[in-house]
Amino acid sequence: MKSPSTPDLVSRFSALVEPGHALVEAADKARYLVEWRDLFQGETPLVLRPANTGEVAAILRLAHETGTAIVPQGGNTGLVGGQIPVPGQQEIVVSLERLDKVRSIDPLGNSMVVEAGMPLAAVHAAAEAAGRIFPLTLASLGSCQIGGNIATNAGGTAVLAYGNARNLVLGLEVVLADGRVWDGLRRLDKDNAGYDLKQLFIGSEGTLGIITAAALRLRHRPRGLAAAFVSVASPKAALDLFVRAQAAAGFGLTGFELMSGLAMEFALRHLAGARLPTSPAPWYVLIEVSSSLSNSEADAIVLDVLAGATAAGEAVEAAVAQSLSQVADFWRLRHGMSEVQKYEGGSIKHDVSVPIGDLPAFLDEAMTAVVEAFPGCRPVPFGHMGDGNIHFNVSQPEGSDRRAFLARWNEMNAVVHRVVRGYAGSVAAEHGVGRLKVDLLADVKPPLDLELMGRLKDALDPLGILNPGRVIRRP
Ligand code: FAD
């Protein structure tokens, strides 16, 4: 790969964007080079901030001509390091943040075309202004961008009812590695005319093309919403409660989150104004039910579920939200859970999923395994139980050395992932592979999967200039 650090190449790339949007000074580039967990520190000769698809295409044409590595960056909330340029590799960052416009909204057709750099929160606001919702919801929604969400096939808290990002995309506009623009911005629910090419780019983490716009699927806002915060004795009790809630609410079950007692303790300690809605318990569940009819119907379903769960001994105690602001308070506890772990020292993360029926056994086995291997460590599992997806995070022993604990990241991963594999689970459930898990993939994917992935990569990015070394390594 050629180095763009030559002044000539830097100025050729810089000339492709408007003045002031080619950043070379360290202070200007700084925020594009660190990520949320502080695990990756990047280095780049240049950050480019194109204003439109044409400028992105011009950048990739020049990158293709000169063999220059390009790292697309959205809101920089990714948790696997894919968006951070590798030190010493001279990768150029292309930030999509200025492609932030709504192109069109069609409430009748329940669709909306937006540019890739729109923050997810702005997408929500635009859908709501048109009397619809865009249901993808993550704790990072104020910063992450819709292009990044699609590139990572983001999950979040509403997958149970609405699916991953993949299920909410009707069409895409993508700039290919050679600079050509693929216009796949169709808004059709049904289109079996050949291969569904957009699916290749969804979840490809910037390794196959740069997404510049998307046609999104909108939904009607449910008329009713109810939520309960429930303390339970064990993950098995939570699973029984899940089955009960799903039977009662069907597709109206829009959230079912599991939180360990320790994850909640951290939230109460570090989130300003946080208050526990029930008495302390070993585990908690947040249930959210939506109704197409009314709040009272949603409330009735929640109360019916809780009555049955209490009688069956699944729920120890429950608090039902009395207002929408109390629903938001319950979610604030859950959404704050990733952030508060920072204040408890080093935390080693695992974004895993197993078949939902195996979750209780998985949690039991994994918690026992990490405590045996790392005496004093503090497992802090929480996550999207309804999807079988748990963030199995492990905090350092109290008072121990942060750096020494984090140095054992791979060892800890090996312990947890061995248990995950025993349940035929995934070691990259919703955050993706990026740089953090690229070496893991070889262990967990069958050789034919890896071969097919490699052939796709070579076909769409023959020079290997898009996010090299992320997701899959090429020779
Ligand atoms: P970035 O971080 O900028 O990039 C992520 C990857 O996508 C990189 O490989 C990058 O190169 C590529 N990329 C970005 N934009 C484009 C584009 N336009 N075209 C091609 N490639 C592109 N994730 C979940 O799935 N579920 C959660 O519940 C969740 N909760 C989170 C909570 C917190 C507090 C935080 C910090 C993160 C959370 N995440 C979650 C992870 C993260 O928010 C998602 O992965 C998100 O989709 C990343 O979007 P982004 O715009 O920040 O992308």
CB 116 within 8 A of CB 74: yes
Distance of CA 198 to the CA centre of its chain: 19
Q: Is the CB of 137 inside a 6 Å radius of any atom of ligand 1?
A: no
Q: How is 186-240 classified by DSSP, letter by letter?
A: ---S---SS--THHHHTTSTTSS-EEEEEEEE-BPPPSEEEEEEEEESSHHHHHH
Local structure of 111: helix, strand or coil: strand
Which of 152, 256, 266, 271 has most ligand 1 atoms within 8 Å of its beta carbon, as the pocket-test mutant?
A: 152
Which of 47, 52, 83, 335 has most ligand 1 atoms within 8 Å of its beta carbon, as the pocket-test mutant?
A: 83
Q: How is 137-188 classified by DSSP, letter by letter?
A: --TTTTT-BHHHHHHTT---TTHHHH-SGGGGEEEEEEE-TTSPEEEE----
Cα 118 to middle of ligand 1, angstroms: 13
Over its length of 475 residues, how does the chain's per-residue pLDDT go in tens digits?
Answer: 545 557 799 999 999 999 999 999 999 999 999 998 888 999 999 999 999 999 999 999 999 999 999 999 999 999 999 999 999 999 999 999 999 999 999 999 999 999 999 999 999 999 999 999 999 999 999 999 999 999 999 999 999 999 999 999 999 999 999 999 999 999 999 999 999 999 999 999 999 999 999 999 999 999 999 999 999 999 999 999 999 999 999 999 999 999 999 999 999 999 999 999 999 999 999 999 999 999 999 999 999 999 999 999 999 999 999 999 999 999 999 999 988 999 999 999 999 999 999 999 999 999 999 999 999 999 999 999 999 999 999 999 999 999 999 999 999 999 999 999 999 999 999 999 999 999 988 778 899 999 999 999 999 999 999 999 999 988 7
Residue with tokens 């769960």: 309
Q: Is the CB of 205 inside a 6 Å radius of any atom of ligand 1?
A: yes
- Full-model pTM: 0.95
Cα 321 to middle of ligand 1, angstroms: 31
The H or E element spanning position 102 is: strand 102-106
Residue 2 has a pLDDT of 46
Phi, psi of 280 (to 5 degrees): -60, 145
The H or E element spanning position 363 is: helix 359-373
CB 134 within 8 A of CB 115: no
Residue 90's alpha-carbon distances to 84, 381, 415, 462, in angstroms, are 12, 38, 35, 19
Rounded to a whole number of angstroms, the distance between the first and last alpha carbons of the chain is 13
CB 320 within 8 A of CB 329: no
Q: Identify which of 17, 22, 175, 146 has the alpha carbon closest to the alpha carbon of residue 75.
A: 146
Q: Return the number of other C-beta atoms located less than 10 Å from residue 332's C-beta.
A: 15
